[in-house]
Amino acid sequence: MASIRREVHIQASAEKVWDAMRDVGALHTRLCPGFVSDTKMEAQDVRLVTFANGRQARELIVSVDDAARRVCWAIVDEPFVHYNGAAQVTPLNDGSCQFTWLSDLLPNELEPQVTAMIEAGIADIKRAQEAA
């Protein structure tokens, strides 16, 4: 199973970034508007995410953990046999925060594509949250 971990330092408070991140139906307006072009909630715990490149992913929201500032989701469509993602915001002493994105996936051959998407996404999250 391929595992990907990316982190970025964001010059914004953990509370501010978490407020945008926990709003799981508003990725395109609050968290990463340059990376995600639309988010539609199909059920209370299922969202259809449309990325700026036109790709779509149907995601099951596994948990939104306010205490840990962590969201966990699973992609339930092909081409994945398995996909589990998690994002977490950690406060830092200077009032900024660290954003961490973790993904485990199968098949392994999708790792380069997913890594590129995560890197684009995390860069947009940093840009959008520092500008907000």
pLDDT tens profile 81-110: 999 999 999 999 999 999 999 999 999 999
pLDDT number for residue 102: 98
CA–CA separation, 94 vs 78, rounded Å? Answer: 42
Number of domains in the chain: 1
At 106-117, the pLDDT tens digits run 999 999 999 999
Beta-carbon contacts of 122 under 8 Å, excluding residues fewer than 6 positions away, are 6, 8, 99, 101
Supply the pTM of this predicted model.
Answer: 0.95
Length of the chain: 132
Containing structural domain, residue 24: 2-131
Taken in order 81, 68, 61, 54, the sign of the CA dihedral is negative
What's the CATH code of the domain at 21? 3.30.530.20
| φ/ψ bin of 29: left (φ > 0), alpha (ψ from -120 to 50), beta (otherwise) | alpha
Rounded CA gap, 9 and 91, in Å? Answer: 10
What pLDDT does 71 receive?
99
Secondary structure letter of residue 107 according to DSSP: S
pLDDT of 76: 87
Query: Which residues in the chain come in under a pLDDT of 50?
Result: none
Number of alpha carbons in the 13 Å side-chain half-sphere of residue 83: 21
Nearest Cα to Cα of residue 39 among 27, 31, 55: 27
